[in-house]
């Protein structure tokens, strides 16, 4: 009797605490992990790139969320050590929805461990972690008793893992009846057909921004950003990168300080997204229409919508509901929609999450071409490979400040 792909996956796990799986988008990685978990769901836990789907939505603090999964107090749960090792104990009183993407990823790993599974299947969810937390997570899964047998991990940053591990190529596991990819690859050169834009110079002076339960995430921040350039912004999970984006695009009103566009005082919270558009690392919260075509503002600017469909390989799914598409395609739609807004500045938070090497390379080229058309681009990413391809002006976020590296 021939082995099934799941049989081959189980064989590859023998004597391994962690099994990395390598392969491109639409190669069957996600289907394999989901199929593996469905066959014996009582002992296997699946965590996808949409880490927010692993959260219940029923709790108001991280502590409550972990205890809901553990069925016991945090202190007596199997996740107690994980919380300490992942450096999230100071967040136990925070609302899960208020955490950064990387902090949510840590929370879902802790919740997965709290369930005491035999196997933990993690599908691209660790790509949101900074290098320190990525290392901590890998060490945790290597040494912790849960999962009791093996963690199977797909990841597009395997070459950046802290310890050398030999991955299994998805092509080596026989996957029968694979469906064709729903979309072709990106065509970044199509962006050259778009109309030029004139982005203003952004100047931030003594900016302080915070939240109700976390005052002054940004403190007395000052920086100048020139149009026609790519800036790459790095920093630890929870350091304030997304808060900086929200302030620039107008989602958050600063507590003090000022923002200037071409030397003139600006109030972006009056017209959010008009000058600085924001792509969130969770693509789903930025999708509002019932078709890809409408999401790209096709009624207002059909020419731009067609160009972006071609650039992001979305023509074949133009009439599809964006939320019905696979995660890597939803990511493309969300990015294209941000560009379709017409804003001259683009703040892109983890644009390559869940994307394979070919897509990452094409995105780097596309963002450089956007600057040639006059845009200013700020990219947040923990992927060193992607940052090297961009070769942009390097910024670092730490201690509530942004500085040139």
* Phi, psi of 360, deg, nearest 5: -60, -45
pLDDT at 177: 64
pLDDT at 176: 62
State the residue for tokens 């391809």. Answer: 389
pLDDT at 81: 93
Name the nearest CA neighbour of 186 among 37, 400, 34, 369. Answer: 369
pLDDT, tens only, 185-224 = 999 999 999 999 999 999 999 999 988 777 789 999 999 9
Under 8 Å between Cβ of 154 and 123: yes
pLDDT, tens only, 237-280 = 999 999 999 999 999 999 999 999 999 999 999 999 999 999 99
Question: What are the strands, taking DSSP E only, across 187-289?
Answer: 202-211, 214-225, 230-234, 256-261, 264-266, 276-279
Long-range pairs for 215-218: beta carbons < 8 A, 24 or more residues apart: 215/255, 216/255, 216/400, 217/243, 217/400, 218/243, 218/244, 218/247, 218/400, 218/401
Structure tokens at 237: 């999970």
Indicate if the pLDDT at residue 83 is higher than 80: yes
Q: What is the pTM of this model?
A: 0.94
Instruction: State mean pLDDT over 303-315.
Output: 97
Separation CA 261–CA 257 (nearest Å): 14
Indicate if the pLDDT at residue 141 is higher than 60: yes
Indicate if the pLDDT at residue 56 is higher than 90: yes
153's enclosing H/E stretch is strand 150-154
Q: How confident is the model at residue 304 (pLDDT cuts 50, 70, 90)?
A: very high
Residue 293, Cα to own-chain centre: how many angstroms? 23
Indicate if the pLDDT at residue 171 is higher than 90: no
Domains of the chain from N-terminus onward:
5-172 (3.40.50.300), 188-404 (3.40.50.300)
Instruction: State mean pLDDT over 288-292.
Output: 95
Under 8 Å between Cβ of 38 and 114: no
Q: How confident is the model at residue 316 (pLDDT cuts 50, 70, 90)?
A: very high
pLDDT, tens only, 341-396 = 999 999 999 999 999 999 999 999 999 999 999 999 999 999 999 999 998 999 99
DSSP letter for each residue of 324-352: GS-HHHHHHHHHHHHHHT--SEEEEESTT
- The whole-chain average pLDDT of the chain stands at 93
Indicate if the pLDDT at residue 1 is higher than 60: no
Structure tokens at 35: 């199929």
């Amino acid at each position: 009797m021939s082995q099934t792909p799941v049989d081959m996956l189980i064989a590859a796990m023998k004597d391994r605490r962690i099994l990395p799986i390598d392969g491109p988008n639409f190669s069957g990685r996600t289907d394999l992990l989901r199929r593996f978990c469905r066959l014996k769901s009582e002992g296997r836990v699946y965590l996808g790139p949409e880490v927010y789907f692993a959260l219940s939505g029923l709790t108001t603090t991280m502590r409550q969320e972990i205890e809901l999964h553990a069925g016991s107090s945090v202190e007596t749960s199997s996740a107690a050590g994980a919380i300490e090792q992942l450096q999230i104990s100071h967040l136990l009183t925070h609302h899960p929805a208020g955490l950064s993407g990387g902090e949510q990823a840590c929370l879902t790993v802790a919740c997965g461990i709290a369930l005491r599974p035999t196997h933990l299947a993690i599908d691209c969810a660790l790509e949101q972690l900074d290098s320190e937390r990525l290392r901590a997570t890998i060490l945790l899964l290597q040494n912790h008793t849960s999962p009791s047998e093996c963690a199977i991990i797909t990841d597009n940053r395997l070459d950046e893992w802290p310890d050398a591990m030999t991955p299994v190529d998805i092509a080596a596991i026989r996957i029968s009846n694979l469906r064709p990819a729903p979309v072709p690859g990106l065509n970044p050169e199509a962006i050259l057909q778009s109309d030029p834009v004139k982005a203003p110079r952004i100047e931030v002076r003594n900016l302080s921004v915070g939240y109700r339960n976390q005052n002054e995430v940004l403190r007395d921040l000052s920086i100048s950003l020139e149009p026609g350039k790519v800036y790459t912004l790095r920093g630890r999970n929870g350091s304030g990168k997304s808060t900086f984006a929200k302030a620039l695009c107008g989602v958050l009103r600063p507590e003090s300080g000022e923002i200037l566009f071409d030397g003139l005082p600006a109030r972006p919270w009056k017209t959010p997204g008009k000058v600085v558009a924001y792509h969130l690392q969770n693509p789903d919260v930025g999708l509002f229409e019932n078709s890809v075509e409408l999401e790209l503002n096709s009624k207002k600017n059909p020419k731009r919508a067609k160009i972006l469909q071609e650039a992001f390989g979305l023509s074949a799914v133009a009439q599809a509901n964006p939320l019905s598409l696979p995660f890597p395609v939803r990511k493309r739609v969300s990015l294209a929609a941000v560009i379709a807004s017409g804003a001259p500045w683009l703040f892109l938070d983890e644009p390559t999450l869940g994307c394979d090497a070919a897509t990452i390379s094409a995105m780097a080229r596309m963002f450089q071409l956007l600057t040639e058309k006059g845009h200013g681009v700020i990219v947040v990413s923990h992927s060193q490979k992607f940052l090297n391809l961009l070769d942009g002006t390097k910024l670092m976020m730490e201690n509530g400040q942004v500085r040139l590296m």
